[in-house]
């Protein structure tokens, strides 16, 4: 980036800096206060026990029991109690023993730290959009330049991202319910941050940690490869990034095996994620389908569902959006939060918090109102129908699954709307307002 562009960015960023600093401090204070009040209130146990927040993979109660068993010299992976990788358990053990803080405060601090990291993620992404805009400005159509980002867009987006995370009910409930997805989101935010800032070692390290925690982030190695391929302009160096990621995964796996004197944990952690033996209801799509499935079809549909959650959409999306790896990453995270085997509200809340990074696409989206209404209705009806089904015995599983299915559809509508908005904006920048081909009106269709 030239010196002139850097100076122009600094001038845009310095505007209303005092106001932004004060706003951010106030947001963090209010966000921390809300979490602190709920964590130490009588609502904490209610929130923490809800299936939308707590799953077999992210329950802190299971982690606590696993740490206790480890302290007594008992293997916590015997049975169906613990589904956290040994190296992640070592992290939890270190945190609980070294920090003289209540567990609740540890979760609160980690959640606030995630909001801080996401602020810098959005700030760096807006910086990249600014450099791309300045570099390609001469290639845009004359009547399409009104769609370019302005100073307020660059300034507001990071603040909106931090606010979306701090005041998102999904992330608040996730923190209050003491779900270990709080730590997963923190490491995922660090991965995004170091990827955008161009740190190969740290981005691969934190992506490897996220993969060890929940397996599904392994597919983010392709957006990581595309990002550094765009930076280095060299396929060899891009594949070196993938190799480093694979080596980091192997190293973490070796450490985990050394901690447990074997690989028995693999079945209880990653086998549990892939084979979905626990059909406790959640906001995902697996549990209902496999409750009704005949056993002799199970393996076929397990493979189908897992392919759908991982590589099915990855390759076509990577080809189409290879020029914007961050947008691709967010799209993949959206799909994973819908189709993974044991999703929770924390997964959805994290990706929703990143939407203000694409504030420049909102004018092109068409499904915002519909998606917002569905989110509101399903978020309210989910706990109600769960209570009617389990406690009042006046509903059944079909009612609750109908709500979770609508919730998943809203997420699909949202991610497709954002991706389509990106394509429409790129078209308008290049060809201008009028959509004509050979002098005739054209219709832009997402294929």
Query: What pLDDT does residue 210 have?
Result: 96
Stated as kind and residue range, the H or E segment containing 437 is strand 436-437
Q: How many CB atoms lie within 10 A of CB 103?
A: 16
Q: From the CA atom positions of the chain, what is the Rg in Å?
A: 23
CB 106 within 8 A of CB 95: yes
Measured CA to CA, the distance from residue 108 to residue 394 in angstroms comes to: 37
Residue by residue, DSSP assigns 137-167 as GGGS-GGGGGGS--HHHHHHHHHHHHHHHHT
Please report where in the chains the tokens 């801080």 appear, as a residue.
116
Q: Report pTM.
A: 0.92
Half-sphere exposure of 21 (CA within 13 A, CB side): 6
Can you state the percent helix, strand and coil of the chain, rounding each to 5? 75, 0, 25
Query: Which residue is associated with the tokens 């992404």?
Result: 125
Residue 280 in tokens: 């406790």
- Residue 22 has a pLDDT of 77
Spatial CA neighbour of 321 closest among 408, 249, 230:
230
Question: Cα 15 to the chain's mean position, in Å?
Answer: 30
Give the pair of three-digit tokens for residue 17. Answer: 């800096």
Contact 198, 231 (CB under 8 A): yes
pLDDT of residue 178: 93
- The DSSP H or E segment spanning 230 is helix 221-232
Q: Half-sphere exposure of 439 toward its Cβ, with a 13 Å CA cutoff? A: 0
196 closest CA partner among 228, 244, 162, 229: 228
Q: Exposed, middle or buried by CB within 10 Å (0-12, 13-18, 19+), for 84?
A: buried
Plot region of 198 (φ>0 → left; ψ -120 to 50 → alpha; else → beta)? left
CA distance 182 to 189: 11
CA distances in angstroms from 63 to 269, 271, 284, 367, listed in the order given: 13, 18, 22, 40
Would you give the distance in Å from CA 31 to the centre of its chain?
Answer: 20
- Note the pLDDT of residue 1: 47
How would you classify the pairing of strands 440-441 and 436-437? Answer: antiparallel
218 DSSP 8-state letter: G
Number of neighbouring beta carbons within 10 Å of residue 132: 13
Question: How far apart, in whole angstroms, are the C-alpha atoms of residue 126 and residue 156?
Answer: 10
Start-to-end Cα distance in the chain: 34
| 373 Cβ neighbours under 8 A, 6+ residues apart | none
Q: Which residues are within 8 A (CB) of 201 and not within 5 positions of it... i.e. 6 or more apart?
A: 244
Residues 6+ apart with CB under 8 A from 193: 117, 120, 121, 124
Q: How far is CA 20 from each of CA 25, 119, 152, 353, rounded to the nearest angstrom? A: 9, 12, 11, 18
Mean pLDDT by 10 residues, the chain (447 residues): 54 53 86 94 90 91 91 87 91 87 92 95 90 75 67 82 94 94 96 94 96 94 93 88 95 92 89 91 90 82 90 91 93 94 94 92 87 94 91 87 94 94 84 64 57
**Beta carbons of 326 and 418 less than 8 angstroms apart:** no
Query: Tokens for 136?
Result: 């390609």
């Amino acid at each position: 980036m030239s010196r002139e562009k850097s100076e122009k960015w600094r001038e845009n960023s310095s505007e209303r800096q005092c106001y932004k600093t004060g706003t951010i401090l106030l947001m963090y204070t209010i966000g921390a206060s809300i979490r602190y009040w709920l964590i130490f209130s009588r609502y904490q146990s209610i929130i923490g026990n809800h299936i939308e927040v707590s799953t077999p993979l992210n329950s802190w109660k299971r982690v606590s029991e696993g740490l206790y068993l480890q302290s007594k010299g008992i293997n916590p992976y015997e049975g169906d109690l613990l589904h956290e990788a040994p190296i992640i358990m070592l992290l939890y053990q270190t945190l609980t023993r070294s920090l003289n803080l209540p567990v609740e405060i540890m979760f609160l601090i980690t959640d606030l730290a995630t909001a801080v990291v996401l602020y810098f993620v959005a700030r760096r992404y807006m910086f990249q959009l600014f450099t791309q805009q300045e570099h390609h400005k001469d290639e845009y159509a004359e009547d399409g330049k009104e769609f370019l980002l302005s100073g307020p867009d660059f300034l507001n987006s990071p603040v909106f991202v931090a606010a979306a995370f701090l005041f998102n009910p999904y992330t608040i409930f996730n923190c209050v319910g003491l779900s270990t997805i709080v730590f997963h989101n923190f490491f995922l935010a660090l991965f995004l941050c170091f990827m955008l800032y161009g740190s190969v070692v740290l981005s691969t390290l934190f992506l490897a940690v996220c993969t060890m925690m929940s397996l599904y982030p392994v597919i983010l190695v392709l957006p990581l490869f595309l990002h550094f391929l765009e930076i280095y302009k060299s396929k060899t160096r891009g594949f070196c990034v993938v190799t480093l990621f694979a080596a980091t995964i192997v190293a973490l796996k070796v450490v985990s095996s050394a901690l447990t004197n074997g690989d028995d944990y693999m079945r209880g952690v990653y086998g549990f994620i892939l084979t979905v033996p626990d059909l406790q209801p959640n906001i995902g799509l697996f549990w209902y389908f496999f409750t009704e499935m005949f056993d002799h079809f199970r393996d076929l549909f397990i493979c189908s569902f897992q392919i759908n959650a991982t590589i099915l959409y990855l390759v076509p999306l990577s080809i189409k959006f290879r020029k914007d790896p961050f947008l691709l990453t967010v799209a993949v995270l959206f799909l994973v939060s819908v189709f993974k085997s044991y999703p929770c509200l924390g997964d959805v809340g994290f990706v929703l918090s990143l939407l203000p990074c694409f504030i420049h696409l909102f004018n092109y989206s068409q499904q915002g109102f519909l998606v917002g209404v569905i989110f509101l209705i399903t978020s309210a009806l989910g706990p109600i129908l769960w209570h009617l089904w389990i406690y009042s015995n006046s509903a059944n599983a079909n009612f609750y699954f109908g709500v979770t299915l609508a919730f998943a559809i809203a997420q699909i509508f949202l991610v497709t709307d954002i991706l389509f908005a990106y394509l429409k904006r790129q078209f308008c920048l290049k060809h201008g307002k009028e959509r004509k081909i050979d002098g005739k009106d054209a219709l832009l269709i997402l294929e």
